[in-house]
Every structure is written in structure tokens, then in C-alpha cells.
Amino acid sequence: MIKQYLLAPGPTPIPNEVALAMAETMIHHRTPQFNKIFFEVRDGLQEVFGTKNDVIVLASSGTGAMEAAVTNLFSPGEKVLVVNGGKFGERWLEIGKAFGLDPIDLKVEWGKPVAVEAIEQKFKEHRDIQAILVQASETSTTTWHPIEKIAKLTRNGPLLIVDGVTAVGVKKVPMDEWGVDAFVTGSQKAMMLPPGLGFVALSERAWARTAKAKLPRFYFNLNLERKNQQKGSGAFTPAVSLIFGLRASLQLMRKEGLDNVYARHERMARATRAAATALGMKLLAPESPSPAATGIWTPPGMNADHLLDFFRDKMLITFAEGQDQLRGKAIRIAHVGYMGAFDVVTAIAALEMGLRKFGAEVKFGQGVAAAEEVLMETLR
Amino acid sequence: MIKQYLLAPGPTPIPNEVALAMAETMIHHRTPQFNKIFFEVRDGLQEVFGTKNDVIVLASSGTGAMEAAVTNLFSPGEKVLVVNGGKFGERWLEIGKAFGLDPIDLKVEWGKPVAVEAIEQKFKEHRDIQAILVQASETSTTTWHPIEKIAKLTRNGPLLIVDGVTAVGVKKVPMDEWGVDAFVTGSQKAMMLPPGLGFVALSERAWARTAKAKLPRFYFNLNLERKNQQKGSGAFTPAVSLIFGLRASLQLMRKEGLDNVYARHERMARATRAAATALGMKLLAPESPSPAATGIWTPPGMNADHLLDFFRDKMLITFAEGQDQLRGKAIRIAHVGYMGAFDVVTAIAALEMGLRKFGAEVKFGQGVAAAEEVLMETLR
């Protein structure tokens, strides 16, 4: 085998159009040439985020953008509610603690969506909660949290801060319409770019709150960035080549049509779930699965890490592992970004072969057949 | 004119080898493949920094790396001495203030190197100074500060924190030998990469100090990064494509030989200064010029910004402007990174033509001739 397949939930494969755009002649970031590109990118991002407000571009990973959402909105000691149903929920907690907030840990069983009633309950118990911090798609468990419903609770209450790292551009999450106050993502998922850019969009009431937020920030000062980015550059040197690439990827997304992008992700996810189920496997998040990736429990007694090593070293396919309590027990198959029907077929065929290799009884083609039934939908 | 010339001190031109490396097939950052590349890059960085300690790679601009050097080493209210002789000296001050340090502002006339005696004096006045924060090359004024001499003062005293953004890879600054405690740079200067990576190297005593430093940090937590990077990846998703590029640029630097890289920068800078002087122009930093860029005062009555617009719009040459008090009065010509003798010739020929366009009496070829005298040195 010589051909590599990257089927993990980030980094994701880069379209050639994007790779080539990143190799364009370097230009200075304080020139009319760069400003023009940057304004185009800003427009495209607003469309993907579903907002009329500024989407701030940072030279950082998505975690940097998460930190920016915290340090620009809060003051030391303020109480926030954290939905903690996976590794990225934990990350909100860790950021809150690192900066001296008072985070309430709302534990959610891994693989389950948060119950809106549990949030309501916490809001009643603690009248001084300033914000709720949550993932739209909890990548570690491949679970989708009910952001639209949570937004109804927070519209006139605490701020709604959403990690949209495997959500923005994956599924329609219209920020302004729903009432999300801070929406964060990174470049290496649905945006079809290498890692290295973080994005944060704030609502009007969130922008207003930045004025009284006292947590220290300098590199991630969103007001300073906004002032500069509205003029077409950044407060500090932006990651120029990645922004060239971003222009190209936004053009690809616009050409496909955002609704088609969302439908493609949903269809690939559904096909993957159908295939796994047909193979007798159990899903990590059957109740509310994310369209970005599908977590699957490996059969009892089969070490998921050995399976993943086999995929990676013998088939050159990179899936993602289960983390922490899922370690060795689950694998995650991504379908986010520059991926299509036959990436699902590839993933499922590999899964069938891998399962048999490690001793499971598998009827070759059974999972693929179930996937094809779903993938055929648009071709009938 | 159709061909573009980027002759500003960052971003700098990208070698094709680097641009192509960045377009290599995307891989996951937690794989043996990536680990191997990352270890190679770590070795190369240690060589360029002149250190046996870890050089931490961040997905950020150089300013993010400056912030990391501050938040990982200090606690609120601690006193630090800031050498403030330009825009980047001001940046140290701003970062210190943003995070609640007590920075002493050691003002230095723009274009002059800091006087070591002035530092000694401040150390005597304030026995509780924890560190000195300084630029090696103050890019805004194209001045080189005497780091080696300062290091002699700090070896058994306060920490020496150096912004090496247009110094590391430009000139030999052997970190361990001199005794620099924190050394920072970005990717878009001598490293011949697009912007998007920041680097921080710490001395052993600086690493020890991180344990008691109480300033809040999460994304820029250097201990967390060190732990992860020693295993071949990062705490958060690293900027994979830029790291592919970094491997290629480090290979180019090694192939040329670091001493040759340094000599090339020094020669280009000297040729530029000789040319400007031959044209009757005054240098911004005659006393201690940086080898990364040369600042030149425009003749009295000639608006430097108009001249720069002419270069950019009519000749497609991007130089850098004078900032703040230098606005409209000076231009900066870079010779850092992927540049050679004929970039100096280009810059000087353009300068001669631009000066005449704006009414100065210029004898065409006079500056170029002076540059050629210097550039011929290695060819005799």
C-alpha cells in the first residue's frame, strides 16, 4: 500500500487548490493587496458562521481561540457553567481554572448530549452564573450537544460560549439566529486547511462585555484585533499563507454551496453509522451523534489501539483513537472537510478487513453495502 | 512591471523548496511519521538558537512567543526592566502591563543601542528587578542592542529575556554561550517561512523559574508544551504544514552553513549601508546597525510614505515604512532570510530611481556601485 488516507477529525485532507494557494508568492500583510484578500475572507467567514458581526482570525490553534473567548469576556472569580462530557469539555474547565474563574463542572456521561433540564437546574441553583461553556460537537465522544435548545435558555440570561471546532462549516449553526454569544473554531476541520488559524466570532452583547472583562490578555486581545482586522490586516503579523489557503477553501465551499456541504457531512455520517450498525458494532453516541465523526466501540476483547496501529501501519489509514476512559476501547472515523462518499467506503472496507484480521466474524461487504444504500440517495 | 519583490523585514520571500514542502500530503500530528519530522526540526532549531535546551514551537506569531516568555516566567507585580528603543521595546512594555508586572521603562533614543551603563545604573537603583527584556535587533529602528555585553551583567543576576525576532538565524547569537535566558523568534524572518510559528527557548534557570511563575497561561503553557514536544508533537494541534516547511528551511540553512548565512546577512547589510551613504543619505542606526534591515532617513522635504507607495504600486517592491515618530521620514530595506546580493542591487537601483522621481539629485549607479564593491568581496 502506498496511498495515505487521513480520516481523523483534524487535521483533515487539504484540497490541491488550497495547497497551491498557500504556495502563492508571499506578500506583506500591510498592503492593499493583502487587505483585499483579507476582506474577502472576512465576508466568507461571516457566511459560514451565520453572523453579521466580525469573525476574528487568529494565528493559533482552536485552543488559542477558546482561550481568547474566555479571557476577553470574563473577570477573575466569575462563575461559569461548563458542560463537561468529553476531552474538550474538560478543556473549557482547564482554561477557566487556569485564568482564575469559578467554573461549575456539569458532568455529562461520555457519549450523551447534555440534558437541557440539567442546565436549567444549575441556572436556578446559581443565580450568578455569567455564561455557559459548551461544545457543539464534542469531538472526543462524537456527540452533538443541543445548542439551539440551550440558546433558548440563554437568550436573555448568561452568555452562550460554544466551541464549534468540529461544528462550524460541518452543520448549519446559524450563530445570530440562534443567539450564540461566542463561537470558536480552528482551520483544520471543515475549513479544509492545515492547522494554524483560530477563529472567534462574538455577538453584540459579548462585544459589549469585553469592555468590562478584566482577565489579562495581549496576544489574544480581540478588541485590538477587531480594530485592525476591520482595516484589513491584524494587530500582529497574520499567518499570510494560511489566509491565502482560507480564501481558496471558502471559494470551494461557496462553489459547492453551504447547504450541500452540510448535507454531505450529514450523509457521510449517517452512512458510517449505518455501516457500523450493519457490522454489529455499537456507536459511542447513538442518541445525538455529531456529523463530523463517528465513534465506534470495538468488540469486547479487541484492543482498539492495536486495530488503529494496523490501519495506520499496514493500510496507511489514520483514524482517531479513543481518549482517556475510551482508550483501547473505541475508534473514531471522521467525515469532515474535504471528504466524500468514497472516503466512507474506504473507511468501512478497511474496518471490515481490520475486524476480521483481529478475529471478529465479519461478512465482507456487509458494512459497505449499508453505507452504499445511504450514499446512493443523491444519485437516484 | 510584473514581478514582485518583497524586501521588508517580515514576511520575507519563501524559497520554492519550502513552499512545496508545505503542500505535502497532510498527516496527523499524533503519528510516528509526524514525530520523526518534529524531532528533526527540534534538532535544527537547537543549532540555530545555539542551545542544548528545548526550543518550543508554538502556533502563533512572534508576539505570541513574546507573551509566552513573560507569562511563564513571572508573577503579578514583579519588577522587570524594559529596554524601550522602538516599537518592539514598547511591545515588551505593553505585554508587561497587560499581565500586571511592574515594568521599568528604560527609554533609549530611537536608532541608538542601549548603553550598558544605563542598565547597570537601573540594576543598582532597583535591587528587586527580576529580569531585563530587550530586543537583539529592534526592527523598527534597525538597531542592534549589545546582547553579549548585557549578558555579562545578568549572568548571576536578573534573567535576560531577548526578543530575537530579526536576530535568530540572522546573526550568530549563541544563546547558551552568552547566557540568554529566554530567546524568542517568529517564522517569517530568517527562517524563510510564512508567518504562523513562534519559537521560545529557555535556559535551565528560566525553566526552573517557570515552576514559581504565577501569571495565568494555558495556550502558551511552556511546561505543558515541553512535555508534549519532547515526545514529538504538541500539547495542542501544531501547525503541521508550517512544520513541513520548517524542516525544508532548516535543511536549506544547514546546506548553506549557518556561518555563511550569517556572513551573507552581514554583507548585504553592509552593502546597503555603503550604497545609501554613497547616495548622500543618512542611516537611522549608524552606530549599531542590525544586519536584518537598514533604515534610511529620506531627504528633508521628501515624504517617505509617497516614496514607498511609488515603490509598491509602480515597481511592485515592498519595503517597510517608518513607524510613529519615523512616519513619513524614513524607509527600511530588509536583507533577511531568502535574499541575496542581487536583492540589494534591486533595492538600491529602485531607491536611486525613486529618489530622482521625487526630486532628489541622484547620479544613477552611484549607490549600486558602492554596493557592488562590498558584494564583490566573496568573488575576488
- Indicate whether B19 pLDDT > 90: yes
Q: Mark whether A233 and A298 lie in a shared domain.
A: no
Q: Which residues pair with B171 in a beta bridge?
A: B168
Last-in-domain residue among A200, A234, A255:
A255
Can you tell me the distance from the alpha carbon of A289 to that of A308, in angstroms, rounded to the nearest whole number?
21
Closest Cα of chain B to A328: distance in Å?
16
Q: Mark whether B233 and B300 lie in a shared domain.
A: no
CA B178 to each of CA A94, A182, B37, B148, B172: distance values in angstroms, whole numbers, following the listed order: 37, 46, 29, 6, 11
Whether residue A61 and residue B221 make contact (CB cut-off 8 A), yes or no, is: no
Can you tell me the distance from the alpha carbon of A60 to that of B79, in angstroms, rounded to the nearest whole number?
29
Q: Mark whether B115 and B160 lie in a shared domain.
A: yes
Band (pLDDT 50/70/90 cuts) for residue B173 is: very high
Instruction: Kindly report whether the global pTM for this prediction surpasses the value 0.95.
Output: yes
Q: Mark whether B243 and B294 lie in a shared domain.
A: no
Show the cell assigned to A175. 450563530
Residues of A in contact with B36 (CB under 8 A): none
pLDDT tens-digit series, residues A344-372: 999 999 999 999 999 999 999 999 999 99
Last-in-domain residue among B202, B227, B255:
B255
Q: Is residue B348 a contact partner of residue B275, using CB atoms and an 8 Å limit?
A: yes
**B60 touching A, CB under 8 A?**
yes
Nearest CA-CA partner of A103 in A127, A129, A123: A129
Can you tell me the distance from the alpha carbon of B339 to that of B346, in angstroms, rounded to the nearest whole number?
11
Q: Mark whether B332 and B212 lie in a shared domain.
A: no
- Indicate whether A46 pLDDT > 90: yes
| For range A44-49, the mean pLDDT | 98
**A189 touching B, CB under 8 A?**
no
Residues of A in contact with B239 (CB under 8 A): 61, 194-196, 239, 242
Nearest CA-CA partner of B299 in B350, B359, B365: B359
pLDDT tens-digit series, residues B59-114: 999 999 999 999 999 999 999 999 999 999 999 999 999 999 999 999 999 999 99
Residues of A in contact with B196 (CB under 8 A): 59, 196, 239-242
Q: Mark whether A22 and A56 lie in a shared domain.
A: yes
| For range A198-204, the mean pLDDT | 98
* Residues whose CB falls within 8 Å of the CB of residue B17, separated by 6 or more in sequence, listed in order: B248, B249, B251, B252
Band (pLDDT 50/70/90 cuts) for residue B1 is: confident
Q: Report the CATH number that the domain containing residue B47 is assigned in CATH.
A: 3.40.640.10
Can you tell me the distance from the alpha carbon of A32 to that of B313, in angstroms, rounded to the nearest whole number?
10
| Domain assignment of residue A226, given as a range | 16-255
- In this complex, the residue of A99, A220, A237 whose CB is nearest that of residue B11 is A237
Provide the pLDDT for residue B296: 98
What sign results for the dihedral spanned by CA atoms A160, A161, A167, A173?
positive
Last-in-domain residue among A200, A221, A255:
A255
Show the cell assigned to B268. 548585504
Provide the pLDDT for residue B380: 84
Can you tell me the distance from the alpha carbon of B341 to that of B278, in angstroms, rounded to the nearest whole number?
17
Q: Report the CATH number that the domain containing residue A348 is assigned in CATH.
A: 3.90.1150.10
Show the cell assigned to B372. 557592488
Chain B residue whose CA is closest to A237: B61
- Indicate whether B130 pLDDT > 90: yes
Can you tell me the distance from the alpha carbon of A230 to that of A174, in angstroms, rounded to the nearest whole number?
22
Residues of B in contact with A196 (CB under 8 A): 59, 196, 239, 241-242
User: Coil, strand, or helix at residue B40?
Assistant: helix
- In this complex, the residue of A12, A196, A218 whose CB is nearest that of residue B239 is A196
Band (pLDDT 50/70/90 cuts) for residue B283 is: very high
Provide the pLDDT for residue A1: 82
- Indicate whether A113 pLDDT > 90: yes
Q: Mark whether A335 and A229 lie in a shared domain.
A: no
| For range B297-306, the mean pLDDT | 97
Q: Are strands B182-186 and B197-202 parallel, antiparallel or unpaired?
A: antiparallel
Show the cell assigned to A157. 440570561
pLDDT tens-digit series, residues A53-106: 999 999 999 999 999 999 999 999 999 999 999 999 999 999 999 999 999 999
Q: A121 φ, ψ to 5°?
A: -60, -50
B226-235 own/partner pairs: CB under 8 Å, 24+ apart: B226/B54, B226/B56, B229/B38, B229/B42, B229/B54, B229/B56, B229/B57, B230/B54, B231/B35, B232/B34, B232/B35, B232/B36, B232/B38, B232/B39, B233/B29, B233/B30, B233/B34, B233/B35, B233/B38, B234/B29, B234/B57, B234/B59
How many domains in chain B? 2
Q: Mark whether A231 and A184 lie in a shared domain.
A: yes
Q: Mark whether B104 and B184 lie in a shared domain.
A: yes
- Percent of chain A having pLDDT more than 90? 99
Show the cell assigned to B227. 512535555
Whether residue A64 and residue B59 make contact (CB cut-off 8 A), yes or no, is: yes
**B62 touching A, CB under 8 A?**
yes
Q: Mark whether B143 and B284 lie in a shared domain.
A: no
Q: Which residues pair with A105 in a beta bridge?
A: A82
User: Coil, strand, or helix at residue B230?
Assistant: coil
Sheet holding B55-59, edge to edge: B55-59, B197-202, B182-186, B159-163, B129-135, B79-84, B102-107
Q: Mark whether A74 and A213 lie in a shared domain.
A: yes
What sign results for the dihedral spanned by CA atoms B118, B120, B125, B127?
positive
Can you tell me the distance from the alpha carbon of A237 to that of B62, in angstroms, rounded to the nearest whole number?
8
Residues of B in contact with A187 (CB under 8 A): none
Interface of A with B in 99-138 (CB under 8 A): 99-100
| For range A166-186, the mean pLDDT | 98
Nearest CA-CA partner of B296 in B280, B276, B312, B279: B276
The CB density around residue A299, as the number of other CB atoms within 10 Å, is 18
Closest Cα of chain A to B79: distance in Å?
17
Provide the pLDDT for residue A274: 98
Nearest CA-CA partner of B318 in B1, B4, B2, B3: B4
Q: Which residue has the cell 470551494?
A: A252
Show the cell assigned to A197. 488559524
Provide the pLDDT for residue A71: 98
Band (pLDDT 50/70/90 cuts) for residue A380 is: confident
What sign results for the dihedral spanned by CA atoms B51, B56, B60, B64?
negative
* Residues whose CB falls within 8 Å of the CB of residue A351, separated by 6 or more in sequence, listed in order: A275, A276, A279, A296, A333, A367
- In this complex, the residue of A20, A61, A99 whose CB is nearest that of residue B23 is A20
Element (H, E) at B3: none
Residues of B in contact with A236 (CB under 8 A): 61-64
Q: Mark whether A102 and A208 lie in a shared domain.
A: yes
CA B107 to each of CA A5, B86, B90, B104, B118: distance values in angstroms, whole numbers, following the listed order: 56, 9, 9, 9, 10
CA B366 to each of CA A316, B274, B349, B372: distance values in angstroms, whole numbers, following the listed order: 60, 10, 9, 10
CB contacts < 8 Å between A and B, how many?
177
Q: Which residue has the cell 496576544?
A: A219
- Indicate whether B212 pLDDT > 90: yes
Q: What is the ipTM of this complex?
A: 0.96
Nearest CA-CA partner of B231 in B29, B35, B33: B35
